[in-house]
Structure 1
């Protein structure tokens, strides 16, 4: 039985052919899909993603060239410079992984008569079809109007990462919010020390820039740091709460009645981050197959999946 996905409550049996690792696509083979890079060509999202990078680069410039390099304390400059730049690299790497990772898109156009016949549904068994992307809609999947795909365990679409946050990239999004919050807090602390140092020294040899320029650059950095710290800290807490309760933001806002067995607390965390707690949980490079990525380049460049 095929029904529209507009029904509020669903009692869907999990069919083997509709498992999470299903790779069916009416227009592409599994090998073809493996050669594609996920990227959403949305104007607003691309502008927001570029702005994110520019703001991080700006913060790094002010911290490094306005505050740390002119400092007379060598170890203060080295330790804070290395720490801030490492956190910035981790933040931007997490951003890239979030943006370029398939969030869990359901294959397009798999709701064909031939595929339906292969499912061999039992009497009374119901599956749902998304009328927008003509896909069989798994439980907990939602259609994103920007990605134009149904996304498994879709939490929300974030323009700052130009992608949906879903089953397969939520981990990277959590790391992105965490590292942005950390560099924002670090920048605010450094600004506080710098202002104190400059006022005490009456702005002599405080920076290689003139006092007015230094003040303007640092004030803007403080505003940026405060706004980003507030936003990402709240988002980080919300994401951890959702993971521990096995409930996406969409499901929470819609007050959807759970029809799945919930993974609570550590089980939810292990499901998203993978395995037992370790340093790999906070490593955005974990699982990145650089060899496959380079091989794609030798074959003439990767394709975009969206």
Structure 2
């Protein structure tokens, strides 16, 4: 488990948690209770929405605290300068590993250096301040789940709001006339849903495009800079999604409990290193 102490990231995380708590408060106290009260249908709505809220926060926490794929660095600087520099030229011909000049790490293919984390990240897509972490090989699944549950929560919230407004109008949680307060809550919640909805739509399209093209945002930027043509992936879209979400059943793709498997293409056999003459 890791925790970035980036001030910008921590502020963004607090903003997300505050927005989620506020949305839960408005839905429960100002929408569901005036319509359904203590009925079974009211309990169903509250349970459903709070379950989605829990899954949203759970997947967000897994994205934030999971190691995205940090490439380890050597603690012994002498070993780095003398040994690894020699091994680099010996094995790069068939492993395509590279050496980072910023953090002094011997990194596998598709690993890139993050200026915020100050480390190289395996299959780094981007550094997201809203999760206070990089989105990389080991937490991209949780990031996709976070986007999915945020979008689903917005859809359920819109359905509850439409049903509630048609039934009770501008009544408060206890049936009283609460015109001004309810209008303010409705405006704030609508703005919050619009902002998060646009965020989820834009980032989801970006993430799915990166997965289906087998090209992270960092790699796409580097390709455009070098003006190199990108060939399409030979793998099917379902196979590409399985590489990110794991090889289990489709139900496990929606549960933020198991990390995606490590790609063997990014590993180097230790026996090859042991048989290199120095």
* TM tier, smaller: 0.7 to 0.9
Q: Distance in 1 between matches of 2:222 and 2:177?
A: 52
Q: Please, what TM-score do these two structures have when normalized by structure 2?
A: 0.80
Deviates more, 1:128-137 or 1:252-261: 252-261
Distance 1:128 1:174, change over 3 A: same
Give 1:121 shift: 1.0
Within the candidate set 88, 102, 105, 1:135 is matched to 105
Matched residue SS, 1:142: strand
Give 1:149 shift: 0.6
8 Å contact 1:154–1:167 — kept in the other structure? yes
Deviates more, 1:223-232 or 1:97-106: 223-232
More helix by share: 2
Distance 1:122 1:81, change over 3 A: closer
Deviates more, 1:255-264 or 1:43-52: 255-264
* 1:100 lines up with 2:69 in the alignment: no
Matched residue SS, 1:71: helix
Give 1:118 shift: 5.7
Give 1:116 shift: 4.3
Within the candidate set 50, 58, 73, 2:14 is matched to 50
Q: Distance in 1 between matches of 2:21 and 2:137?
A: 29
Report the counterpart of residue 145 of structure 2 in structure 1: 175
Distance 1:118 1:132, change over 3 A: closer
Distance 1:130 1:207, change over 3 A: farther
Within the candidate set 171, 180, 187, 1:212 is matched to 180
Report the counterpart of residue 286 of structure 1 in structure 2: 258
Report the counterpart of residue 88 of structure 1 in structure 2: 53
1:157-212 per-residue CA deviation (whole Å, 9 max, x = no partner) reads: 1000000000110000000011011111221222222222233xx64877567221
Report the counterpart of residue 244 of structure 1 in structure 2: 212
Give 1:280 shift: 0.8
Q: Distance in 1 between matches of 2:125 and 2:33?
A: 42
Q: Distance in 1 between matches of 2:136 and 2:9?
A: 16
8 Å contact 1:242–1:249 — kept in the other structure? yes
Gaps of 5+ in 2: 261-278
8 Å contact 1:129–1:137 — kept in the other structure? yes
Deviates more, 1:275-284 or 1:73-82: 73-82
Alignment of 1:242-281 (within 5 A): 242-255=210-223, 263-281=235-253
Matched residue SS, 1:108: coil
Report the counterpart of residue 202 of structure 2 in structure 1: 234
Gaps of 5+ in 1: 1-36, 289-306
8 Å contact 1:70–1:208 — kept in the other structure? no
Q: Please, what TM-score do these two structures have when normalized by structure 1?
A: 0.73
Give 1:229 shift: 1.4
Q: CA RMSD in A?
A: 2.8
Aligned residue pairs total 250
1:121-178 per-residue CA deviation (whole Å, 9 max, x = no partner) reads: 1596775321211112322111111011111111111000000000110000000011
Distance 1:223 1:209, change over 3 A: farther
